[in-house]
Structure 1
Amino acid sequence: MSRVVVVTGTDTGVGKTIVTAALAARAVDNGERVLVVKPVQTGVGGPDADPHDVATVAGLTGVDVVELVALDEPLAPDTAARRQGVAIPTVREHVSRIRDLLTSGYDLVVVEGAGGLLVRLDADGGTLLDVARDLTFALRRRTDEGISSPVEVVVVCRAGLGTLNHTELTVTALRAVQVEPAGLIIGAWPSDPGVAETCNRTDLTRLTGVPLLAVVPEGSGSLDRPTFLASAPGWFS
């Protein structure tokens, strides 16, 4: 049974995909076999389609990837599915699929969310918070039986102004369902940080009580694979 890391963010565009790749790269550096799962991807249709996040991760790291649902418009998944006129799996079905993948021989399965923690992933109001909670409690029961480890939830946050509020709100939401975040990761650290970024780097842990696991340099997604794989382990504390 694999161990699981769920990657969520304080907002969209905070660097979740590059953080997901960095987590995968660190595990590869430790000799682990890694699978990255993206339950729902949006914005991949039309002439200005976004790249698939799993393709970005695979390109940077070479690990195995799985995308469960892809939707055309760059909107919240439930909205994108409704506008596209397609049915999408429920969060419960996503959790079931992920649990099946945990028996596939991987040491680590990284699950990357879409947008922030409370973005609707299905038509029933299910969110990544529900995925994290359901996986945590399912695997916690199995841990009591000596079978597997519980889920770790990593919160990706911004470096600049506003991040303290957004991060505290995300951490509070997780704790409200008895899921304690394993750590915070700053998704894009500027090359020339200002006073806000410098203070936030300390204050994020001081105000949330959650450790800062890593700081990812801005622009890391443009590195080639060998450089990314060599660099990513050093971003972690």
Structure 2
Amino acid sequence: MHVLLTEDNSLIASGVIAGLQAQGFTVAHAASAAATQSLLQHSHFDLLILDLGLPDEDGLALLQRLRRDGMALPVLILTARDAIAERVAGLQAGADDYLTKPFDLRELAARLHALLRRAAGRTTHLIDHGPLQYDPTTCAVSLCGQPIDLSRREQALLQALLQNPGRILSSEHLKDSVYGLDDEVESNALNVHIHHLRRKLGNGIVETVRGLGYRLGPAGHEGQQP
């Protein structure tokens, strides 16, 4: 999943980015409110982690403006402001969750997974798709009960599709989810990962919608029984 981290403290930001990337997240970083708004306008994200003490604008004011503008992205506030009144203000401003510093990276990751689960309308962390089962917390994949080994990029691609069943996702959307914003991406890289995912999970798992993008299709190879 593609996460935007808004945090002006470079040391905290680097620790969060490294910790989340180790758990399978793709993370982009913004150090100001203006940079956050620009990235949200030009790239796709699944979640926003928002610090409140930003150098150019208070994070609550930014969040209120984003919500007024119609942004539905799940938002987790990550801040040192730990008073009850401040937590209430954050949630009333439009945050979906509130975590205070210092924090444990495992708890942060668990909260992010919970936010995505609620946004997708799921009651458990496991994602079932026909004979395919995916656990976002461990990145474990099985097909017809058999474990399937996917690379980190293949996992990110599969998760982007599973999180958006029925939706057509553009190449740009998938590239943001799989590679983030800082990676150098070769022109055919996405096609290579789609090819590998089809080979491992069935030719129909990624459906090409000509001229528009891709969407999730049925899992399983010919002859396999769900």
TM-score class, shorter-chain normalisation, is: 0.3 to 0.5
TM-score, with normalisation over the residues of structure 1?
0.35
TM-score, with normalisation over the residues of structure 2?
0.36
Greater relative contact order (CA < 8 Å, ≥ 6 in sequence) = 1
Structure having the higher Rg:
2
